[in-house]
Amino acid sequence: MAKKLLDNAVKEWRNNRVHLTVASILGHFGAIQTSDKISTKIFDAIKRFEKERIAQNNGIKEVDIIKLFKPLGIEKDQIDAALLSTLDSYGGDRGFTAHSSAKTHQPIDPRTELRTVEIILDGLKDFDAEIIKLIS
Q: What is the pLDDT along the chain (136 residues), one digit of tens a residue?
A: 999 999 999 998 888 877 888 889 888 887 766 788 888 888 899 999 999 999 999 888 999 999 999 999 999 999 999 999 999 998 887 665 555 655 555 677 889 889 999 999 999 999 999 999 888 8
Among 70, 75, 101, 76, CA closest to 88: 76
Burial 53-83, CB ≥16 within 10 A → b, else e:
beeeeeebbbebbebbbbbbbbeeeebbeeb
Segments forming the whole domain that contains residue 125: 2-135
Number of domains in the chain: 1
The pLDDT of residue 41 is: 87
- Mention every residue, 6+ apart, whose C-beta is less than 8 A from residue 114: none
Contact indicator for 77, 10 with CB cutoff of 8 Å: no
The pLDDT of residue 49 is: 93
The pLDDT of residue 115 is: 92
State how far Cα 25 lies from the chain centre: 13
The pTM score is: 0.79
The pLDDT of residue 95 is: 60
